[in-house]
Structure 1
């Protein structure tokens, strides 16, 4: 009789566990964007949150946790309960933080469960509206001639604009006076106001300002022109060979998140990347969703590890570190 009771209890427990797994998500999901609201990564997050909400049956809420180049928000997700209800949308900084920060409180390759890549965003080289240079070649010549008198702004150490600026200075072999801001918005405000000279930032942030004439655009950092900005040449067309930078984004959950939850998050991400509104809005911003075979945990895991190795020598050569 006792064996029968124990067996029945075990079957009930197993059934309860199986049911609990099918319950995900049981409440709204918080998508941590580790940058200020209104920035390019925030834009990506808010575009995919709505179709992911429809697929998951629970609201995906974007929460901005800025600071320390994105590492504060990432650290929060690394320490969150691994139940799938807290996820991280981060960009290439997830790879470069390993080299940029001496005391990183987590391991990007070990303390997260990958869900999938989202998009690869081209960068654009832009300048204040009063910049004298008429073409990208003129601007590169202006930078080379004036060197440290040129102010190069970014959204903070570890931001996409900071990384692009480092690559630009390395490609030109010219130092500029770099000015880090606390977010993309104040940096763009000062660029529009003509108080600073140059910025290299994601097309998701600059396209609208370029189209409205608020800033001058000189080139894109990928090897083909953007459909949303067809008249803007690539930097390679302007003679800056070998300069190719795009800012990829991915979604992670905390380490130990159950496979069933990760699978549902992956399916929701893929559904979002096929959503017609997302595809259109991404195109308007000069980007596009990654192929679906890249929106997987395995593809993101492999890509992150390769990018960590790629950026190590670039960051070390620049000699830029943060505590």
Structure 2
């Protein structure tokens, strides 16, 4: 066979191999759909829309947020997991992504295999609150009473693997406590019950939790983050108070279908990192309570998510939270 003949036979194969590369070169070639698996208005939704807006200014195509809610976030996540792996359908999710498999016995996608992390965007602390008239003025006093009176104290939770439930379970596990979980449909009604003294303890997002404490509607005992907050620097961290294993940050990240090429993920991550470096974007995210902006590479982000999945599977199992 001549060299010319071999070249002619090889051409279709070479062209087939070139197509993914050409597609990546053109990315994005049309508007990007970024799915958020929760209702509009929450912290993850607000942060996601900010990131989408800023990415739209940097990329040659718009990034459009779309809320696809239901089943603890699994409906929106499954939609992205089954989408073409071409970088035009993304998922903006939070820590709920790491626990969904532990909460639902049946899912029509595999969170670990069918979605790939592009980057972690931001992390936010939560603050442990007690009623303004609570007899427990320090975390040590609260812990001592709870240990002597198992399940007598109550804490607010939104259940379903939400941040309020997760951070509370982490604290109870670290301190060796048993309290009574009181379910709520959202953080706002729980905060009202805390302010009235109906509820004994509540974790809240740092931004709103500090507002409650500053307004005299709650007393802040500890912060879940690794360092004190500039908003209320007098509030100590869990680690400072002897509970480093209760350190907790709510995170948000961007995910793509599992088959998305690594070079495309790297381009997406670079664009997000550039957005997070903008002074105006950083200032706005800080206002929203995101005290740590991340923007890490895909491999690092995926390793973090994998570790989170393993950690929360253990904690939820030990707490008796079973998949339904």
Distance 1:102 1:9, change over 3 A: closer
Question: How far did residue 165 of structure 1 move?
Answer: 1.2
Whether 1:235 aligns to 2:238 is yes
**C-alpha separation in 1, matches of 2:216 and 2:208:** 14
Describe the SS at the equivalent of 2:151.
helix
Range 248-257 or range 31-40, more displaced = 31-40
Aligned residue number for residue 287 of structure 1:
291
Q: How does 1:221-232 map to 2 (within 5 A)?
A: 221-232=224-235
Shift of the 286–85 alpha-carbon distance from structure 1 to 2, 3 Å rule, reads closer
User: Paired residue for 2:36?
Assistant: 33
Specify the alignment match of 2:56 in structure 1: 53
Structure 1 Cα separation of the partners of residues 263 and 51 of structure 2 = 21
What is the rounded CA distance, in whole Å, between the counterparts of 1:258 and 1:128 in structure 2?
50
Within 5 Å, which residues of 2 pair with 1:202-221?
A: 202-221=205-224
In the TM superposition, residue 192 of structure 1 has moved relative to its aligned partner by 4.8
1:9 & 1:105 partners in 2: Cα distance? 36
Query: Which blocks of at least 5 consecutive residues in structure 1 are unaligned?
Result: none
Task: Name the TM-score, length of structure 2 as normaliser.
Answer: 0.82
Aligned to 1:304: 305
Shift of 1:299: 0.8
**103 and 128 in structure 1: CA distance in 2 versus 1, 3 angstrom threshold:** farther
Equivalent residue pairs, number: 318
Residues 136-163 of structure 1 show CA distances to partners (whole Å, capped at 9, x for unaligned) of: 2333344445543433222331112111
2:316 matched residue in structure 1: 315
TM-score by length of structure 1 reads 0.83
Deviation at 1:81, TM superposition (A): 3.2
Matched with 1:119 is: 122
